[in-house]
Amino acid sequence: MKLAIADWIVLAGYLCVVLGIGIYFSRKNTSTEEYFVGGRRFRGWVIGLSLVGTSISSITFLAYPADAFKTDWLRYLPNLALLPAILVAAFVFLPFFRRGNMTSAYEFLEMRYGPSIRVYGAIAFLVAQLVRLAMILWLLSLLIQEVTGVAPTTAIILGGLFVGLYTVIGGIDAVIWTDVLQTVILLLGGVVCLWVILDALPGGLNQVFELAGTAGKFALAPWENGAPGETSWSFSLSEKTATMMLLIGLTNWLTEYSSNQNTVQRYCASQSTQEARRGLWVYLFTALPIWAFYMFLGTALWVFFQVYPDVQASAILQGDARAETLMPHFITAYLPAGIAGLVIAAALAAAMSSLDSSINSVTTVSVVDLYRRHLRPGESDRHYLRVAWAIAVVVTVFMIGGALWLNNAETKTLQDTSTILVSLLGGGMLGLYLLGFFSQRGDARAAWCGIACTLVFTSWTVLTNKGLLPDAVSAPFDLYYTGLIGNLLMFAVGYLAASLWPAPSSAD
């Protein structure tokens, strides 16, 4: 489908506004304090909507509907653990990071354990974020290809360069305010898609619930052979039960709000602890409904294509086409002229709101935790600002390169793949922070014992995943549980080592 002139006008207008925000804030970026935390002046509602934009990425706009279309709602379960995680974050984690004008999540690790642990935390974050950046940019490129017809390489490079441009020049101010804009556009785009689907279905909303309900598309169970299995609430390390999915969600969310720079940087950019806490509540009561909405959108698309059979949709269900191509195909083939532009802008917003946050946070950690702390201490603030710009450019290049590699990789649905990657790359960070938050025992020696054991454990699961180990010594559990077990191992080993080696009077 060729886009109508109205669609191109909407798209061009949206992109110009985003770029304009970056240019506007570039004039204010005269210090690292402004570039990294925006002068610490943001209100809670801005922080909350920015957090929504950061977490609701292409994985929401493209992969959530794709997953619900192809399977059921099992992978929505981890999101429900956000509520208890936010409560812990608001009253336990947040106060730690608001003390002492911190800029990085990993400054706490040095205060608690010593500089070597801070370096470990920073590097673990950088690795995970570079993987995430590549994944989200690749998803963005699918839509660009569908809309413009350009080659995958061209789509990846164009998308990466645009996001990198306004992020590099605009800093955290541009990131936060574009995230707010992109959250609104994202929601509008999804609503328009659902409206088109319901308007086309003879039975409307009731037909979605009837057909999808009969087929088990709302089930909270593993999807096997075109149908849901039984929903199990048991504790198991070998299957994806509802209880275990909730525990995975709790682990991932606690990690997000204790050790993820994307989140902690927004704590630090808030006007006060009260405003930062208010931002968490705004995030909670906005994100959960939006995630559910996009899962429902995928279910509605399944009903739509049952009523109106489509070659591409059938190929996705049969595994002959990537599930993440579903939304781009629907947007370009079924949305009326003039509306497609808004929805495409929403899809672009979904990707860019996460990409810009990650680029900025990777830059912040690289400068604050590594370059300024260890490589070139004592330089002028202007020097560090220039280095931040240079690092942001390098990160953009890495992001584009990773997306090009991912374009040739074999994956399942991307939501499934991303969950496994988060578990593998988490490195037991939650366990490390919890040991620091809730115990004063132990120093860097205890922390390194926990880290070493966790890295051995994680390496074992990676080798198992690659099929490089005999069955007798392979991990006997689902890889979804790597992060959960790894964090428990980190905390237990670290606590035990702290008991054996009391902390000396000075850090390592």
333 and 453 inside one domain: no
Confidence of residue 410 (pLDDT cuts 50, 70, 90): low
pLDDT range class, residue 463, cuts 50, 70, 90? confident
Q: Is 378 left (phi over 0), alpha (psi -120 to 50) or beta?
A: left
**Residues 385 and 471 placed together within one structural domain of the fold:** no
Specify whether 286 is located in the same domain as 169. yes
Final residue in a domain of this structure, among 375, 409, 443: 409
Give domain status of residue 422, yes or no.
no
Q: Are residues 345 and 294 in the same domain?
A: yes
Predicted pLDDT of residue 423: 54
For residues 119 and 460, what is the distance between their CA atoms, to the nearest angstrom? Answer: 23
Q: Nearest-5° angle of CA 382, CA 384, CA 388?
A: 115
Query: What is the rounded CA–CA span in Å between residue 353 and residue 396?
Result: 14
Q: In the structure, what pLDDT confidence band is assigned to residue 217 with cuts at 50, 70 and 90?
A: very high
Which pLDDT does position 36 carry in this prediction?
Answer: 92
If pLDDT is split at 50, 70 and 90, which confidence band does 91 have? very high
Whole-angstrom Cα distance, residue 342 to residue 437? 45
Confidence category of residue 142, pLDDT binned at 50, 70, 90: confident
Domain assignment of residue 143, yes or no:
yes
Q: How far apart are CA 267 and CA 277, in angstroms?
A: 8
- With respect to residue 31, please indicate whether it lies within any of the assigned structural domains: yes
Which structural domain, as residue segments, surrounds residue 440? 427-508
Q: Do 446 and 392 have their domain in common?
A: no
The answer on pLDDT for 300 being more than 60 is yes
Give yes or no: residues 149 and 189 share one domain.
Answer: yes
In a domain, 172, yes or no: yes
**CA 163, 168, 169: angle at the middle one, nearest 5?**
110
- 62-83 pLDDT, tens per residue? 788 989 999 898 888 889 999 9
The rounded mean pLDDT for the chain is: 86
488 and 403 housed in the same domain: no
Phi, psi of 428 (to 5 degrees): 70, 20
Sign of the four-CA dihedral 257, 258, 261, 265: positive
Band of residue 506 on the pLDDT scale cut at 50, 70, 90? very low
Distance, in Å, from the CA atom of 175 to the CA atom of 392, rounded to the nearest integer, reads 13
Residue 497: is its pLDDT beyond 50? yes
Residue 416 lies in a domain: no
β-sheet bridge partners, residue 270: 42
pLDDT value at 47 more than 80: yes
Least reliable range by pLDDT among 42-51, 285-294, 421-430: 421-430
| 94 belongs to a structural domain | yes
* Mean pLDDT value of segment 443-457: 91
- Is 420 domain-assigned? no
Among 409, 435, 468, where does a domain finish? 409
Domain boundary residue among 352, 375, 409? 409
For residues 289 and 350, membership in a common domain is answered with yes
Highest mean pLDDT among 135-144, 334-343, 389-398 belongs to 389-398
| 403 and 467 belong to one structural domain | no
Co-location of 255 and 322 in the same domain: yes
Check whether residue 331 and residue 466 sit in a common domain.
no
Residue 415: is its pLDDT beyond 50?
no
State the CATH number of the domain containing residue 39.
1.20.1730.10
Q: Are residues 304 and 446 in the same domain?
A: no
Domain membership flag for residue 418:
no
**pLDDT band with cut points at 50, 70 and 90 for residue 239:** confident
* Highest-pLDDT range among 102-116, 327-341, 349-363: 102-116
Distance CA 476, CA 176 (A): 43
pLDDT of 505 reads 54
**If we measure between CA atoms, which residue out of 305, 345, 342, 334 comes closest to residue 1?**
334
Q: What is the domain count for the chain?
A: 2
